[in-house]
Amino acid sequence: MILQTIEQYYTWALIAILLLNFAQRKIPGTTKKRFATIYLASLLLLFEVGVVTILARDLNHNWAWLVLAVCIVLLYVFRDKALPFRLHCASCNKRLDFNHVIGHDDNLCQSCYNEAHPEQAAKEEEKKAKTLEEPVVDDTDKDAKSVDQIDWDLWEPKEVCVITYLFKDDQVLLIDKKTGLGRGLVNAPGGHIEKTETALEAAKREFKEETHLEVDNLKLVGKLNFQFRDGLSERGYVYFTDTYLGEMQETEEARPFWCPVSEIPYDKMWEDDIHWLPSALEGKKFEGFFIFDGQTMVDKSVVFEEDDGQE
């Protein structure tokens, strides 16, 4: 009797899984979970074939337990592919809404996703701010002498980079920049985000390339927007961390060194650093807007999230 009931309602269960799969197609970044519903449907189909065979050949119904055991074993073996779903955020443990449970392979809530992928979050914000008509792209921002002359909502950086500050006790790891933009200045390890990686991945890669250290548990603390008078425009995401592995080594790009936080050499760094780094060290999140002529700062504006103050 039980097997007849299972066989009767099997079709409805399969339809429910297929409808779930169709719903997943509307959610971006859901390839892994879409394949998971196919795996689950395949296991359900396997169990149904076993039940139908038992009923058709009038076999002992206890054989259904063996079929069920086989399906459970297969589900366990392929659990990473068949069960990628989570009810809570993998980062902050916040309960996920329905779309994030059935979609979004990273199992992150929207706020944690934005922190892990700030470049994507920024793009979404810019899309919302823009009208349906695409704005005309020009290069007039390079002639601006004041940050107020630039429409930062429509401003598009030509390059996107990351900067990571590593702390140990009361010290911070800095580098003497030996090549590229900022050569000759003191900075924190960092570099450009490649097209195939996230900001977090770029921060970890660049840090290792410049210091041979592997960092983890990075926290996004701010965003920098630079417009240079020569036409270069750059956005930078700033991370803090106190977790690392390895032995520090000098590289072709940089000479890393530990420096007491109280003795950070702002006079040897980019001129903007002193206007946001001290506040960031106090726990304030920020966004900065700067105009530079070479290594000389022309104008600035820094907004701090904690108290909405502006410098």
For the chain, what is the radius of gyration of the CA atoms? 27
Phi, psi of 97 (to 5 degrees): -75, 175
**With 80 as the cut, is the pLDDT of residue 308 above it?**
no
* Per-residue pLDDT band at 134 (split at 50, 70, 90): very low
Packing angle, helices 63-77 and 31-56, rounded to 10: 170
**With 50 as the cut, is the pLDDT of residue 136 above it?**
no
CATH, domain 136-304, list 3.40.640.10, 3.40.630.30, 3.90.79.10, 3.40.50.11890? 3.90.79.10
Tokens of 8: 């009767």
Rounded CA-CA distance 111/101 in Å is: 15
Residues 6+ apart with CB under 8 A from 131: none
Compute the mean pLDDT over every residue in the chain, rounded to the nearest whole number. Answer: 85
**With 90 as the cut, is the pLDDT of residue 301 above it?**
yes
**Burial (CB count <10 Å: 0-12, 13-18, 19+), residue 306:** exposed
**Strand blocks (E) in the chain:** 159-168, 171-177, 186-187, 190-192, 214-216, 219-228, 233-241, 243-245, 254-260, 286-293, 296-304
Rounded CA-CA distance 301/272 in Å is: 10
**69-78, 108-117, 143-152, 287-296 — which is least confidently predicted?**
108-117
- pLDDT one-digit tens code per residue, 224-243: 999 998 889 999 999 999 99
Rounded CA-CA distance 218/172 in Å is: 14
Residues 6+ apart with CB under 8 A from 130: 153, 154
Task: Tell me what pLDDT residue 140 has.
Answer: 62
Task: Tell me what pLDDT residue 34 has.
Answer: 85
Task: Tell me what pLDDT residue 55 has.
Answer: 77
- pLDDT one-digit tens code per residue, 250-279: 998 899 999 999 999 999 999 999 999 999
Side chain identity at residue 224, one-letter code: L
Are 272 and 300 spatial neighbours (Cβ–Cβ below 8 Å)?
A: yes
Rounded CA-CA distance 45/275 in Å is: 63
Q: Which residue in the block uniquely carries the two structure tokens 């592997």?
A: 214
Rounded CA-CA distance 144/152 in Å is: 12
Helix, strand, coil percentages in the chain from 3-state DSSP, rounded to 5: 40, 25, 35
Higher pLDDT, 242 or 75: 242
Task: Tell me what pLDDT residue 132 has.
Answer: 40
Task: Tell me what pLDDT residue 129 has.
Answer: 54
Phi, psi of 117 (to 5 degrees): -130, 65
Task: Tell me what pLDDT residue 303 has.
Answer: 94
pTM over 0.75: no
Task: Tell me what pLDDT residue 286 has.
Answer: 95
Task: Tell me what pLDDT residue 290 has.
Answer: 95
